[in-house]
Amino acid sequence: MTAKRVALVTGASTGIGRSVAETLARNGYVAFAGMRDPNGRNRAARDEVAGLAAAGIPIEAVALDVTDDASVAAAVATVVEKTGKIDVLLNNAGGCLMGLTECGSVDLLRRLLDTHVLGTQRVCRAVLPHMRRRRTGVLAFTSSLGGRVVIPTTTLYCAAKAGMEMIAEGYKRDLASFGIEVVILEPGMVQTKIFDNMWLDDDTARAAEYGALGGVARATLEMVKTMKGPPPEELADVLLRLLEMPHGQRPLRTTFGADAALVDPVNVAADEATRALHAVYGVDGG
């Protein structure tokens, strides 16, 4: 078993996931950058990670498609076989959908939920038996300010992020007795390629029935492509600081960016309501 801490990051071919994997690898971790199809569509990303490893940085690409049970199981088995443990899991894989709420088909929503919600659960269920056996670990989740409030024209994406947040919050209570902690990152605008790979609502006939409003999503997409946010490396540094905190001192939710800070009052109110509800039901909030 390696003496270094071991981190598995999903959705690590680019953007936040890639930055987190590299940052952790440069700061005392052995990092596994999970990515879909590393021998095909993400070959370039795999080769970049291999270049870092050749330079002595303890990072490795691993094939991991969060929408596929066998892929998830194989990736987790590979990490455990090579290192003997997983200390940190960052559930980061995702995609963003823009459009009017009615105009996103059920198939498109299913695809979104399979990544953000079902995919999160798949990976957690694969990793947690190892963490629970060792009675230590951190589950981290890349959410969004859209996990707390609806961002215009991204309702279905926000619904998926909200689902991820509820899973994360449930794990916080369930896993407390095992010494496993949960942290949720809630970034706002971050400089990644997310808008280059944006999904758009696919029921154009219904969108047309909304008149001018039906074209708002596409106009909004072009607008947000010009907006600038902090680089993903800064968010990776935030997660690193959270991981370096002593056990029991890590906050459940951490916003990132001036826009995301607008939901801080929502988080405070939700925490108070959660504690009160737990008291009513006579359960330990974790």
Phi-psi region of 230 (alpha: psi -120 to 50; beta: other; left: phi over 0): beta
Query: Do the bridges between strand 29-35 and strand 180-187 make them parallel or antiparallel, or are there none, so unpaired?
Result: unpaired
Q: Please state, in angstroms and rounded to a whole number, the distance separating the CA atoms of residues 58 and 50.
A: 10
CA proximity to 143, closest of 99, 201, 93, 108: 93
Helices (H) and strands (E) in the chain — how many of each?
10, 9
Q: Please state, in angstroms and rounded to a whole number, the distance separating the CA atoms of residues 91 and 17.
A: 9
**Spatial contact of 197 and 225, defined as CB atoms under 8 Å apart:** no
157 is catalytic: yes
CA proximity to 141, closest of 52, 227, 256, 278: 256
Report residue 108 as tokens: 């498109």
Query: Do the bridges between strand 29-35 and strand 199-200 make them parallel or antiparallel, or are there none, so unpaired?
Result: unpaired
Annotated active-site residue in 157, 171, 210, 281? 157
Report residue 190 as tokens: 């971050």
Q: What is the largest CA-CA distance in the chain?
A: 61
Helix boundaries (H) for 55-154: 69-83, 106-113, 119-134
Q: Please state, in angstroms and rounded to a whole number, the distance separating the CA atoms of residues 180 and 87.
A: 9
Count of beta carbons in the 10 Å neighbourhood of residue 95: 15
Active site residues per annotation: 157
